[in-house]
């Protein structure tokens, strides 16, 4: 569970000699966890006026994590949506199915592009979905490359800009120093094979690092090959009554290289090169009905990133102690192919196929400075900077056997678009005595500029919908107060504003056929949020151990929600239904969060975390439950680690039932309450060899995750609801050899 630095976890991972008595801990203390909450560097968790948590690489390794859904499994209130691979028709998927994989993260009741996702501080590719195409945000992530994942709940726009409407997650990659520090040598090498029965996948990771005081280098290579994830369905038939998973196979590959140069004690240069590739292919046996005799899909997602960063750190400087600058290029491409065969009908010609591609390229850079000064008893930490990025987003669709837009070609869903974002920010953290005051402000400006496209212009202009430009700006303030009465009692309160600018798809989306069409909207405004959070945290000695706790209550008001709504028509040839993205709704979300960690001196550690969220949206004067809000979640656990040689851990995950009163459509299926128990353990076979093993869903429970199945109708679930269940009991195993 995040925040849970399970006490001796670091010692377990990096003990150079597990047989020496000096490696054993005689006194166990909760470690201080630091996160990058101010963009400039580390912030003591106990003095962060927000709800923050950290998932370390050691925690991910101990749980044999293979993707971000595994990594966030024990983080209450933070969910990863993964739709079921269960296709239907050439248009592809329903609200609960698709091929986007780990599509995005839900936090405090919102998901998708409303949660900011960063990798080393750089904005990750945005999600895209249109008909058969579904591009998730987790396609270019690989947890084997990360040294920690930082989770910041609440609006993050005062420092990071657009998309930080309800929170931010930063995936921070490993550095050469992280690997060289394991044994304190000038070289490091490790190899780790792994297996997970949930999808019968095999993985292998090789890591190498070398260097001295001036030059350091690192290379990490990872691959995994597997199949469809298991579920609790047992009806292995063809057609819509099928509940067994549709067969699918995948192969993931990733590489991360870094070169660091430190010419002196205050300057450093870092070159980062990263590449990821995800391929999958499947046969949708559940779609073999109504004349369909074959239905297959294949996808390829690739990502590349190159970053050149400079950092100057000199505590003795009088006016600027830290300066950072970076230039980066980031690219993500997805190509998805769908094939359908069978008997033709009056309206459908088979065989037919669709080939959809989506590209998100970004170049950018940033400057950041930090100044520490302290006149008249006040200590100021002033952080300020600039961000500039230029993104180019493009999509295309082609196919045969289907008439749409222009002849037998499919629509270009939106024109090639240049998306420019410029942001300037400043934040002052002021301390005097026990009081800390944090004041921040960011100004963002953005512009969407479509480029000429013969295909899009022909299809859109013919229907009176030429491509349009869009631009706007937004201020994002933040104000927080924290007062340390004692280390055991530190209350805080903060106000923060977030915003999200419209995407090119939302501004210039277009689709047209005989009975419905989707049109552009140049008048879209940015989504905004205003959130107030009150919290309390502390750490203290308690009996024969140490205790850390935190609790928070928050309320957020959201305006100008962008939704796809019906604006006219009745789904006929004479009067086609018209869909358009509009600022159609506002929302209110409030909730409670809490966690506790207790470490005893005898090697026993206890943890607990809870998250409860309630949300409503209002459109056209009608208030209804917000479907993206997850039900109450609870995570508890116990760990026993008598020595750094071995540990065993048990985690319990509980989700309450989703109430029908809390969703907008009463005819949809709601997930019942569930709990699952996991076991994990590790053992140092020798100084250089460690074995990790785990069992997920120990009691083989059948359950549904609301985040994954929301939108599932009662009509569908009455026949095949077991197709949407989560995996049953599964086993995972890895062996790490390091020198």
How far apart, in whole angstroms, are the C-alpha atoms of residue 501 and residue 410? 28
pLDDT, tens digit, for every residue of 16-65? Answer: 333 333 333 333 344 454 555 777 776 777 788 888 899 999 999 999 99
Higher pLDDT, 2 or 463: 463
Region of poorest pLDDT, from 369-373, 553-557, 578-582, 724-728: 578-582
pLDDT, tens digit, for every residue of 153-187? Answer: 989 889 898 888 899 999 999 999 999 999 999 99
Q: Which domains does the chain have, with CATH numbers?
A: 9-738 (2.40.170.20)
How far apart, in whole angstroms, are the C-alpha atoms of residue 416 and residue 678? 46
Q: E strand or H helix at 301, and its extent?
A: strand 292-313
Shortest CA distance to 682 belongs to which of 649, 726, 728, 706? 649
Q: Is 50 exceeded by the pLDDT of residue 7?
A: no
For residues 373 and 334, the answer to whether their CB atoms sit within 8 Å is no
pLDDT of residue 31: 46
Region of poorest pLDDT, from 101-110, 301-310, 488-497, 606-615: 101-110
Region of poorest pLDDT, from 237-251, 688-702, 709-723: 709-723
Q: Is 60 exceeded by the pLDDT of residue 625?
A: yes
How far apart, in whole angstroms, are the C-alpha atoms of residue 390 and residue 614? 37
CB atoms within 10 A of CB 406: 14
pLDDT of residue 17: 38
Joined tokens for residue 506: 């939302």
pLDDT of residue 36: 57
Q: By CB neighbour count within 10 A (0-12 exposed, 13-18 middle, 19+ buried), where does 545 fall? A: buried
* DSSP letter string, 319-365: S-SEEEEEEEEEEEEEEEEEEEEE---SS--SSEEEEEEEEEEEEEE
Instruction: Give whole-number Cα distances, 727 to 81, 449, 722, in Å.
Output: 14, 44, 11
pLDDT of residue 344: 72
Per-residue pLDDT band at 97 (split at 50, 70, 90): low
Joined tokens for residue 202: 């095999």
Q: In whole numbers, what is the pLDDT of the chain averaged over residues? A: 87
Q: Is 90 exceeded by the pLDDT of residue 5?
A: no
For residues 568 and 624, the answer to whether their CB atoms sit within 8 Å is no
Average pLDDT over residues 200-218: 97
pLDDT of residue 318: 86
Joined tokens for residue 175: 């550095």
End-to-end distance of the chain based on CA atoms, in angstroms?
28
Higher pLDDT, 187 or 545: 187
Which 3-state string (H, E, C) describes 440-462?
Answer: EEEEEEEEEEECCCHHHHHHHHC
Per-residue pLDDT band at 442 (split at 50, 70, 90): very high
Entry field: residues in the chain: 739
Average pLDDT over residues 286-313: 92
pLDDT of residue 296: 92
Average pLDDT over residues 105-128: 90
pLDDT, tens digit, for every residue of 697-734? Answer: 999 999 999 998 888 887 766 678 899 999 999 999 99
Average pLDDT over residues 553-565: 90
Region of poorest pLDDT, from 51-65, 212-226, 309-323, 501-515: 501-515
pLDDT of residue 44: 76
Average pLDDT over residues 547-573: 89
Instruction: Report the percent of the chain where pLDDT is more than 70.
Output: 89
Joined tokens for residue 515: 């009975």
């Amino acid at each position: 569970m995040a925040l849970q630095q399970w006490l001796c976890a670091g010692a377990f991972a990096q003990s150079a000699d597990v047989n020496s008595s000096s490696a054993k801990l005689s006194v166990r203390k909760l470690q201080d966890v630091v996160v990058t909450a101010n963009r400039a560097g580390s912030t003591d968790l106990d003095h962060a006026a927000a709800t923050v948590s950290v998932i370390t690489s050691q925690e991910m390794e101990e749980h044999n994590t293979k993707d971000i859904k595994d990594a966030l499994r024990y983080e209450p209130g933070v969910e990863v949506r993964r739709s079921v691979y269960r296709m239907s028709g050439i248009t592809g998927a329903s609200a609960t199915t698709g091929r986007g994989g780990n599509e995005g993260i839900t936090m405090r009741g919102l998901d998708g592009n409303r949660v900011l996702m960063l990798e080393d501080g750089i904005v990750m590719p945005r999600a895209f979905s249109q008909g058969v195409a579904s591009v998730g945000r987790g396609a270019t992530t690989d947890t084997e490359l990360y040294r920690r994942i930082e989770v910041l709940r609440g609006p993050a726009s005062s420092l990071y800009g657009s998309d930080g409407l309800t929170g931010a997650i930063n995936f921070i990659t490993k550095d050469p120093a992280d690997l060289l520090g394991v044994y304190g040598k000038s070289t490091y090498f490790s190899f780790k094979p792994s297996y997970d029965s949930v999808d019968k996948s095999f993985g292998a990771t090789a890591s190498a690092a070398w260097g001295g005081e001036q030059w350091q280098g690192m290379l990490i290579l990872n691959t995994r090959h597997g199949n469809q994830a298991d579920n609790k369905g047992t009806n292995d038939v063809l057609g819509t009554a099928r509940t067994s998973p549709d067969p699918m196979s995948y192969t993931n590959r990733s590489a991360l290289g870094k070169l660091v140069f430190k010419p002196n004690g205050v300057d450093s240069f870092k070159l980062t090169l990263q590449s990821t590739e995800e391929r999958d292919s499947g046969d949708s046996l559940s779609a073999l009905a109504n004349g369909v005799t074959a239905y297959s899909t294949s996808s390829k997602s690739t990502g590349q990133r190159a970053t050149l960063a400079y950092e100057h750190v000199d505590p003795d400087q009088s006016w600027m102690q830290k300066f950072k600058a970076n230039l980066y290029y980031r690219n993500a491409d997805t190509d998805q192919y769908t094939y359908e065969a069978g008997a033709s009908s009056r309206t459908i010609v088979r065989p037919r196929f669709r080939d959809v591609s989506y590209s998100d390229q970004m170049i950018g850079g940033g400057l950041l400075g930090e100044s520490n000064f302290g006149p008249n008893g006040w200590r100021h930490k002033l952080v300020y900077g600039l961000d500039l990025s230029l993104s180019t987003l493009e999509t295309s669709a082609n196919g045969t056997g289907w008439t749409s837009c222009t002849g037998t070609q499919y629509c270009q869903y939106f024109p090639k678009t240049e998306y420019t974002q410029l942001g300037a920010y400043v934040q002052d953290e002021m301390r005097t005595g026990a009081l800390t005051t944090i004041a921040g402000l960011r100004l963002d400006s953005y512009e969407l500029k479509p480029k000429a496209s013969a295909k899009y212009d022909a299809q859109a202009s013919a229907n009176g919908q030429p491509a349009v430009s869009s631009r706007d700006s937004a201020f994002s303030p933040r104000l927080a107060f924290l007062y340390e009465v004692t280390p055991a009692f530190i209350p805080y309160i903060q106000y923060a504003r977030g915003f999200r600018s419209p995407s090119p798809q939302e501004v210039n989306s277009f689709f047209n056929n005989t009975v419905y069409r989707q049109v552009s909207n140049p008048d879209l405004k940015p989504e905004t949020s205003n959130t107030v959070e009150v919290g309390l945290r502390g750490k203290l000695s308690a009996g024969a151990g140490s205790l850390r706790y935190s609790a928070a209550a928050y309320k957020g008001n959201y305006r100008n929600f962008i939704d796809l709504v019906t604006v006219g028509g009745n789904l006929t040839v004479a009067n086609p239904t018209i869909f358009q993205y509009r600022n159609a709704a506002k929302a209110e979300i409030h909730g409670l969060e809490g966690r506790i960690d207790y470490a005893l001196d005898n090697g026993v550690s206890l943890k607990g975390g809870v998250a409860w969220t309630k949300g409503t949206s209002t459109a056209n004067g009608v208030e209804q439950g917000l479907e993206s809000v997850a039900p109450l979640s609870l995570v508890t656990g116990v760990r026993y680690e008598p020595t750094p040689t071995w540990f065993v851990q048990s985690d319990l995950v509980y989700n309450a039932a989703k109430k029908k009163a809390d969703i907008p459509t009463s005819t949809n299926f709601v997930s019942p309450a569930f709990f699952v128990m996991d076991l994990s353990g590790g053992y140092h076979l020798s100084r250089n060899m460690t074995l990790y093993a785990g069992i997920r869903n120990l009691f083989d429970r059948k359950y549904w995750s609301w985040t994954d199945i929301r939108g599932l109708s009662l009509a569908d679930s009455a026949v095949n609801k077991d197709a949407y269940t989560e995996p049953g009991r599964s086993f995972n195993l890895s062996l790490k050899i390091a020198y």
